[in-house]
Structure 1
Amino acid sequence: MKSSPPTSGRPLKRHGNARSELRSWMDREGYERLLREAAARDLSASKCVRDCLREYFALKDTMALPPDAKADPTSGTSPARRPASLFEAVEAAIAGALQESERRTSAVLEKLRLLACMLDQAYQGIVVQMVEADPATREARIARATESTKRWRRAVAALYRNGGPEPATDENGKR
């Protein structure tokens, strides 16, 4: 049984569990995208269209709701809920990506802070240790260098724990 299209521009109303058939033309790009989406969801193309339209209308309804929508006590109805499958999935993906980015950035900043501490201590050590080489005192110099390395590592660890070296500034207080 086919029905005639609405004449006044209003949608045709159906009652009960009646199902309606819908036919539509799509360009090749849209159709191929629909088929890829259906394959990703492991659905037929028609079921995928239904699911996508449900998600679209649920998202559209959610976006139309004020942020603090409450149930109407006179009618006994509750406000529409956010679509769990699309909107919250996108929100969760963005939040997860942000947390991962923050974690990676923090790790890089920690390594840079350690490197800055090491460079600062290395520069000070090089300036202090600059003396001419004397072959007669080679063993003593090796022992001093070993001890100096241990002190350097302790100083780097302490500087790292304290947050790193202070930034260099000129006489005007600029970096």
Structure 2
Amino acid sequence: MTQSLCLDDPALALAASLTEKGFDAFFGTPCGILAPLYERMTREYGLRTVPREDNAVGIAAGAAMAGRSPVVMMQNSGLGQSVNTLASLVVPYEIPMLLIVSLRGVLPDRTPENLVMGRLTESMLSDLGIPAERLQADRVTAQVGWAREIVCERRRAAALLVPPALFGWQA
């Protein structure tokens, strides 16, 4: 894959980087911002749709305990729904998984029902002790490498945050 292709299609770059870096079990709930990544991961890498984000985190925990390197894709409102599962299972028992979280409620998404979660997402992850980075189109491969170091080497949870415009979402 060429660097220009990666820059032209960050969802393609992210999907390819995830599998190239050893992530191998994919779970998630649909999200408009994540749709290009979600469709590609479903079609090419067997992403399994789970109706609730906290359940997806629980299933990913089981996959991690079975030796897999799981990824959970969700909207930040689903992250809010998953706080107890993360705080009482994933964090204290150091269960490794990568969270890919869309950032509703940050520009260009100004829908009132998403603003509070948009404001809280990064601090919530920080308070949980889950390191997070906002994905940037020109750094996707490096950022997946950063996540791999935390999840696959240190055996901890990490998060990559997807701003609304990264994959072309428009309000």
TM-based fold match above 0.5 = no
How does the TM-score come out when normalised to structure 2? 0.19
How does the TM-score come out when normalised to structure 1? 0.19
Higher helix share: 1
Higher strand share: 2
Higher RCO (CA < 8 A, seq sep 6+): 2
